[in-house]
Chains A and B, each alone.
Chain A
Amino acid sequence: MGDRMYIIIVGAGKVGWNLARELLEKEHEVTVIENNRNRYLTVEQELEHVVQYGDASELWVLERAGIQRADLVIAVTGDDEDNMLICQVAREKYMCERIIARVNNPRNREYFELLGIKPWVSATDLILRLIEHEVPEYGLVHLLDFPEERLEIIEMLLEDNSKVAGRRVGDLQMPEGSLLISVLREGRGFVPGPETVLEAGDEVLAVLDPGSEEDLKEFFAPDGANGAAGRRGS
């Protein structure tokens, strides 16, 4: 992983504990802060001095853990307000540039955004994405979002009677704000040229401006149908 970092993990639940273990293996310096005494004692048996007991939303606890020199603060407690506050304080009071916050309730995502706390990670969202990926009926899979750059990458399966099957890429009038970047066919991926002819069963990757998902879905959809499901991608 390159340079050795000093990483503070708040919350020694399953996520925090395993993260600590992995990061220590990668030879980073790690401190875990846990505010449940019993949990702390359990985790301390393995991680020893790496874990500290205390409520990380108390500033002195963060300072005792050395937040002033932390390269990265990861807040993975089971409480969204705690995660938000810890990340906000880490960045705005202690000038820690890199933070990662866990979102427990996906409905709280917009609050993380509102308070400028990012990146955030939500297990529920990740699993939803996986379901979308595993269940092609949904039509469109979000692969990557770059909210900052206002771009996203999506994947779509061309169905048997897709309007674009059998057509040359060079002849396609892609919807505005979208670009075809890759075709996956029979387990192989390649970058299409103008002469590439799309086939039913191809999976196509496209980069697009957020908001043009529906146009793109309609563009690749089977003739006469409005996509397999009228569901939005995100």
Chain B
Amino acid sequence: MFVLVIGAGRVGSSTARALLQDGHEVSCLDEDPESHARLEVELDGSWEDNGGHFTVGTALEIDALTEAGVERADVFIAATDGDNTNIIISQIAKRRFNVPTVIARVLDPYRAEWYQKQGLHTICPTKVAIEMLTLDVRQAAEKADGNGASPQKAAEPAE
């Protein structure tokens, strides 16, 4: 498949690299030319030698999107550091360029949830982090309860 990743930050670059290593054709777009280096971390040889594409430009520029290959993309991943940018460009990829699979990384759980309901596929790492943190603490609490020791709760009334 041809995968277009917008934003070569930590998430974008690692995702792009993993998909490239899976054998997909991967193109990455970022406004910062320096972000290219991040794509090559732990890679043998250059990003291009491994078959990757890299375009410098902002996600709303039609020319940049076209150069990066949006018109033939099977998958569009919006992973810039801006939630609103990701939400808007995902809708553009869907509606204007008819990309079959569009995924937006959205950090704000509320925006992610609402847009998911509107039919936009959103991934919310914050939500996953919140769930994991809460789960860990709850498990720790259960373990403490199980040992018969919940001293603070039992012994100390409100100060």
Interface residue ranges, A against B (CB under 8 Å):
57-60, 79-82, 84-85, 89, 92-93, 105, 107-108, 111, 114-115
Contacts and interface: CB of A to CB of B under 8 A. Distances in A.
A18 to B, nearest CB: 24
B84 A79 contact: yes
Contact of B85 (A81, A93, A105): A81
A187 B60 CA distance: 45
Contacts, number: 46
Nearest to B108: A58
A115 B91 contact: yes
B153 interface: no
Interface string B89-112: 101100110000000000010110
Nearest to B96: A114
Contacts of B87: 81, 85
Q: Which of A57, A81, A82, A93 has the most C-beta atoms of chain B within 10 angstroms of its own C-beta?
A: A81
B67 to A, nearest CB: 15
Contacts of B108: 57-58
Contacts of A57: 83-84, 108, 111
B88 A84 contact: yes
Given A58-B108, A85-B88, A80 B95 contact: no
A201 B85 CA distance: 50
Main secondary structure of the interface of B (DSSP, over half): helix
A229 B95 CA distance: 36
Contacts of A114: 91-92, 95-96
Nearest to B61: A107
A30 B84 CA distance: 24
A59 to B, nearest CB: 5
Interface string B101-142: 000000010110010001000000000000000000000000
B106 to A, nearest CB: 11
A59 B114 contact: yes
A81 B88 contact: yes
